[in-house]
Structure 1
Amino acid sequence: MTTTVPYTEVPSLVGRDLGWSDWLEVTQDRVNVFADAVDDHQWIHVDAERARAESPFGGPIAHGFLSLSLTTKFWTELLEVDGVTTKVNYGLDKVRFISPVQVGARVRMNAVIAEVAEIRGGYQLTVDQTIEIEGGTKPAVAARGLYRFYA
């Protein structure tokens, strides 16, 4: 469910748990397209037969950076700020790839606003993001993202 706030209320978001995004299945096609985009065709990601036979994960897994890149999609499902002219993914302070995401698994993200700082022309949000794997015991990714909103 999307939290929608006007730009003027962004500072009040500190500590707000935005809840969970929708589930997304990580398909082999998505993994292959990502591999093409970043030129990383390691067999553990793109060779399903070999990954089933030789990998410790029992099949192909998504690239860690593919799992991380999904934060952009999930983030837009969780927060909408009305009255902004520009939204910027400013970067990351910390990232950990905790558990591999097997092809065919479903993932979703939780986001908690840790900090809001006023910057020239806008606000910077520091967001604790956790991507979980359906049925998993540990998260796939834990990341602290930085996002900027300009009015």
Structure 2
Amino acid sequence: MINNASISNPQALVGVSEVSDWLTIDEEHLKAFAHASYLEGDRVDLTPSRNHALGPQLVDGFLLLSLLVYFDFASQTLRTEGGYGFNYGVDRVRFTQPVYVGQRVRLHRKIAEIKQKSPTRALVTLDTELEVEDSGKTAMVARWLLMLVDGEGEA
């Protein structure tokens, strides 16, 4: 974990990497995501012959992308006392391998770049890869941008 002391020299953090614990993708969360994103049978046709060729157990790529936030809260790579970060955007997202309900995934992330935007804000670029257990394959690659804010400094 990166703490306040290391924020004083942000360039020293470039290259720091971390691997998360495994997370099992379950049916309950897949259904909740479908509901939250309006992908329900009474709204759209999700039959395998139409829009869902890999079957109903396929995990939506955007659900996988949303797991970046889960993994960040589960084990924060960047944490500062009195500070916070927020999602600034995502670049170069690719879904490279299907993931199905019941499979386990984990996130590999590395700090690729940090740009000081102001005395109290830094734009952090994380290179992330979502690995599928037992296959050794990467299911998603994304470059995630976070704005790290010194909340006490801005108060």
Return the TM-score normalized by structure 2.
Answer: 0.80
**Which of 90, 93, 101 lines up with 1:92 in the alignment?**
90
CA distance in 2, matches of 1:56, 1:35: 16
Partner of residue 123, structure 2: 124
1:99-140 Cα shifts (integer Å, max 9, x gaps): 111100000101011100001231111110000010124211
**Which of 66, 71, 74 lines up with 1:69 in the alignment?**
66
Return the TM-score normalized by structure 1.
Answer: 0.82
CA distance in 2, matches of 1:57, 1:105: 15
CA distance in 2, matches of 1:41, 1:73: 23
Q: Give the direction of change, closer, same or farther, for the CA distance of 1:80–1:113 in structure 2 (3 Å limit).
A: closer
Match for 1:142: what amino acid? V
CA distance in 2, matches of 1:26, 1:91: 24
CA distance in 2, matches of 1:30, 1:15: 33
**Greater CA radius of gyration, 1 or 2?**
2
Count, aligned residues: 139
Alignment of 1:36-47 (within 5 A): 36-41=35-40
State the 1:4 CA deviation.
Answer: 3.1
Cα contact 1:64–1:97 (8 A) shared by 2: yes
Unmatched runs of 5 consecutive residues or more in structure 2:
151-155
Partner of residue 22, structure 2: 23
CA distance in 1, matches of 2:81, 2:8: 8
CA distance in 2, matches of 1:64, 1:27: 14
Cα contact 1:57–1:102 (8 A) shared by 2: no
Unmatched runs of 5 consecutive residues or more in structure 1:
none
Runs of 4+ in 1 over 6 A off after TM superposition: none
Write 1 or 2 for the structure with the bigger share of strand: 1
